């Protein structure tokens, strides 16, 4: 340990000193009573001993420590460190943090838009929120946020409150973030313009052709189910017979919204998900109960390593009942249930009380060891290093965790939902130049300027005509490269050639979004998905798999080449 750097002592008035002591003792007493409530009185003596020891140490520090101390801060720190010995998802939020965290699902907020997890003083990105600034510039699941505007984010100062404080801010303001990414030796710098994080959670709903509909759900918030029903009604009115449900990058949210959507696909009163915990009061079964909007017709679910929690519940229910073909890569594997418990001072404990299981009996939760959250948070990096993102053969199934769908197909537990059809991550067009374009917002800013300069020309056509006929010309690409050079980005010819198809598609997509998407009132971003999906290898594979999806719906598994 290093000797602490001398700091100006914190001076508290007698009233200020007494207040945190009262609060902390009340908090400790509340935890003691909570132990009685949650355990039914078991191990009460051990809990009382632990409380007495903590109280004794706290009072000794307060009364005898050489300098003045912030007791509230000590209590918060001790709680955080205590919870690190548990599972990776049990967490504690101070009052301010709890309010900020709830706003992720309950209302909009200004910031950069990432779902994150903190362990061992490191901030890991679970998933960038769809439609937010972080997704726009290319932040990815598994990235490590190292610095914000030059301030260290990793280290002892990596708390929820600090992350919220540094990342959130008034829309339109810029934040510079240093990011560590698996597979790259050097950290990357991103300049992100804070924006209003959209409250909409259905990002796109459009007809691919006369029969196939595409619907993307980016998270499960308060309004997701209502948005879903509105989108499905629109698609059905346009002749929907086959559906692609895209859950990639969906970090989860409210379980009830996910099961309500599952109910729209699954007939009868079939089991959708169940939970089991140490205390049987938290054992719960959720069954289908409604006549759904789309109980007949082939369904394909797109999933990947950024699909977590509630999105895994939905994908698992549809897979186990042979109602949908899952295409993509293994999902995140977050299957622990947290109960939010509001404490007396407004802070919040999110305590893991049970596990989620799919209808076949699979635990969604990937493996973890108590107190070893660092290994847990490096799981996505481990998958990358093992080749799992690129080869189905890298996924090893544990024969002890073999389960069966309704039709007798073999499915496996062990963490996350395994796809029926594996699609590797496409890195063929990636380059350092492309990442730098994202990081500096070059593509988005160029597209916005182009739209503003060509309003009359673009306004003479509708989006469908733009989609079919518009191309990003070589002259436009040259202008874009010049913008990059002005921003200090020097492209290599081989990088430009490699990434050119994606640069052209992204630029066209942004032009479509800025010209036609901002006229929308429904929160959908159909335009950019209609431009980009034809270049998306997972989406394209899904279109080729509707024969198997139709066979699956009929109960004919012969074309699926699956183990039974």
Q: What are the residue numbers of the active site?
A: 309, 320, 334
3-state SS track over 221-278: CCCHHHHHHHHHHHHHHCCCCEEEEECCCCCCECHHHHHHHHHCCCCCCCEEEEEECC
d(CA 81, CA 432): 38
The first and second tokens of residue 4, run together, are 């602490």
d(CA 69, CA 76): 13
Torsions phi, psi for 174 (to 5 deg): -100, 145
d(CA 21, CA 59): 8
| Cβ contacts of 507 within 8 Å, gap of 6 or more | 443, 446, 447, 472, 476, 480
Angle at 533 between CA 246 and CA 456, to 5 degrees: 125
3-state secondary structure (DSSP) of residue 97? helix
Q: Are 220 and 310 in contact (CB under 8 A)?
A: yes
d(CA 206, CA 228): 12
3-state secondary structure (DSSP) of residue 505? helix
Q: Are 499 and 477 in contact (CB under 8 A)?
A: no
The first and second tokens of residue 240, run together, are 């929907």
Burial 166-194 (b: 16+ CB within 10 A, else e): bbbeeeeeebebbbbbeeeeeebebebbb
Helix (H) or strand (E) holding 493: helix 493-515
Alpha helix stretches (DSSP H) within 272-361: 310-320
On the 0-12 / 13-18 / 19+ scale of CB atoms within 10 A, 484 is: buried
| Cβ contacts of 362 within 8 Å, gap of 6 or more | 316, 320, 401, 403, 411, 412, 413
| Cβ contacts of 44 within 8 Å, gap of 6 or more | 35, 36
């Amino acid at each position: 340990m290093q000797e602490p750097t001398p700091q100006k002592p914190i001076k508290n008035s007698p009233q200020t000193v007494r207040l945190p002591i009262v609060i902390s003792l009340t908090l400790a007493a509340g935890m003691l009573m909570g132990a009685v409530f949650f355990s039914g009185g078991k191990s009460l003596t051990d809990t009382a001993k632990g409380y007495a020891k903590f109280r004794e140490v706290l009072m000794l520090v307060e009364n005898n420590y050489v300098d003045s101390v912030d007791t509230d801060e000590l209590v918060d720190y001790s709680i955080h460190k205590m919870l690190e010995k548990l599972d990776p998802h049990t967490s504690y939020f101070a009052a301010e943090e709890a309010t900020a965290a709830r706003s992720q699902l309950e209302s909009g907020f200004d910031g950069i838009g990432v779902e994150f997890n903190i362990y061992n003083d490191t901030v890991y990105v679970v998933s960038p929120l769809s439609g937010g600034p972080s997704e726009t510039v290319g932040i990815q699941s598994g990235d490590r946020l190292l610095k914000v505007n030059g301030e260290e984010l990793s280290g002892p100062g990596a708390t929820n409150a600090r992350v919220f404080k540094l990342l959130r801010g008034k829309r339109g303001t810029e934040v510079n973030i240093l990011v560590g990414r698996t597979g790259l030796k050097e950290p990357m710098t991103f300049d992100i313009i804070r924006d209003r994080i959209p409250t909409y959670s259905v990002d796109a709903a459009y007809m691919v052709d006369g029969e196939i509909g595409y619907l993307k759900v980016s998270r499960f918030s308060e309004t997701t189910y209502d948005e879903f029903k509105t989108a499905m009604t629109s698609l059905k009115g346009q002749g929907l017979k086959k559906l692609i449900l895209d859950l990639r990058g969906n970090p989860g949210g409210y379980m009830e919204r996910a099961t309500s959507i599952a109910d729209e696909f699954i007939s009868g009163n079939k089991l959708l998900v169940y939970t089991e915990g140490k205390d049987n009061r938290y054992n719960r079964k959720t069954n289908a109960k409604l006549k759904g909007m789309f109980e007949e017709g082939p369904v394909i679910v797109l999933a990947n390593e950024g699909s977590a929690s509630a999105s895994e519940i939905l994908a698992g229910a549809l897979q186990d009942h042979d109602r949908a073909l899952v295409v993509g890569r293994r999902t995140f594997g977050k299957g622990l249930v947290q109960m939010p418990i509001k404490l007396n001072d407004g802070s919040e404990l999110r305590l893991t009380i049970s596990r989620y299981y799919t209808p076949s009996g699979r635990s969604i939760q990937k493996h973890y060891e108590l107190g070893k959250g660092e290994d847990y948070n490096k799981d996505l990096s481990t998958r990358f290093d093992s080749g799992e993102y690129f080869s189905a053969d890298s996924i090893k199934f544990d024969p002890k965790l073999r389960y069966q769908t309704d039709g007798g197909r073999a499915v496996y537990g062990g963490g996350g939902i395994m796809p029926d059809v594996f699609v590797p991550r496409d890195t063929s067009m990636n380059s350092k130049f492309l990442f730098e374009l994202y990081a500096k917002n070059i593509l988005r800013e160029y597209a916005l300027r182009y739209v503003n300069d060509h309003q009359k020309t673009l306004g003479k056509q509708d989006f469908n005509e733009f989609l079919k006929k518009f191309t990003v010309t070589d002259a436009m690409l040259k202008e874009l490269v010049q913008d990059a050079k002005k921003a200090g980005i020097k492209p290599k010819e081989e990088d430009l050639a490699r990434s050119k198809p994606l640069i052209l598609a992204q630029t066209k997509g942004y032009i479509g979004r800025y010209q036609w998407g901002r006229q929308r009132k429904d929160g959908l971003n159909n335009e950019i998905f209609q431009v980009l999906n034809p270049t998306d290898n997972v989406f394209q594979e899904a279109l080729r798999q509707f024969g198997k999806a139709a066979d699956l719906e009929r109960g004919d598994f012969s074309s699926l080449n699956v183990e039974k």
